[in-house]
Amino acid sequence: MKFTRRRTTGAVLLAISVAAGFAITSGPPFLVVLAALAMVLFLPGRSLYEAVRSGEVSHSPAELIAWSVVASIGISLVGGLLLNLTSGLTRQHWLAWSLATTAIACIACLRPETTSNQESRRTPQSLRQGLAARNLATAGCAVVLIGAALWMSFASAGRQAAGFTQLWIVPSSNSSTPMTGTAQIGIRNLHGGTEQYLVAVFEGQATKETRSWVVSVGAGSTWSTVFPRPVGKQLRVELVTEDGVVRPIQRVLLQPTT
């Protein structure tokens, strides 16, 4: 297989993308930032440009950079909405999306290019028709992507609005006398059904809880309790759901008393 300009560029972009992926997962902080910026703002769009570029069309460096940045942002936005819709908007999933789209575009760069002889036999009218068809196809793809992005944004907003859990810890007091020696923990369930929670209290930087409760809170209901507050120690409260899958969901802190 002959390595043309497009194929060479695609191979280089794929290698850079893989290196950026390794940097994001295991590199130092400054390298993570640089690699993430490249994956969000340049590499996917640059690969897509090279994949769809026609042999007889060329752009200036400024146009190439603008095309790459705009396309990369569009790919990242669509990917973020899609991952958020499927409850997979994590660092690993976003990186997999970016690498997958870049790899697909780079593989598309392997297609045969139009030879100069073929280009020379094309009439100016056929060149104009081909350019018009490509512009129309690009506009159609843009409309489809914008429509899909809007649909996914509304669907994601509706999914996230389904419900949440509120957790708090505050110094406990009544209407007349502050109770500086106690603290209050509270949970409010704003999900659509009954949820079961594990509430654990830690003192300072301890890894073992000093007290815990397993509570069942109905939809729209609130649970709270008051317990002695140690003097001079920070309190950390961690909330874990037990709806078949144990997973931590919230953490709050109460600074120590003096």
Token pair 């489809």 is at which residue? 144
Q: Where are the domains of the chain?
A: 5-113+124-160, 165-254
Instruction: Tally DSSP H helices, then E strands, for the chain.
Output: 7, 7
d(CA 233, CA 169): 14
Domain 165-254: CATH class, spelled out: mainly beta
113-127, 144-158, 179-193: lowest mean pLDDT where? 113-127
d(CA 1, CA 13): 18
Is residue 234's pLDDT more than 60? yes
DSSP string computed for 67-116:
HHHHHHHHHHHHHHHHHHHTT--SHHHHHHHHHHHHHHHHHHTTSPPPPH
- The answer to whether 6 touches 106, Cβ cutoff 8 Å, is no
What's the pTM? 0.49
Query: pLDDT of 17-75, one tens digit each?
Result: 889 888 888 888 888 889 988 988 899 888 888 888 766 556 778 888 888 888 888 88
- Give the pLDDT of residue 88: 64
- The answer to whether 71 touches 53, Cβ cutoff 8 Å, is no
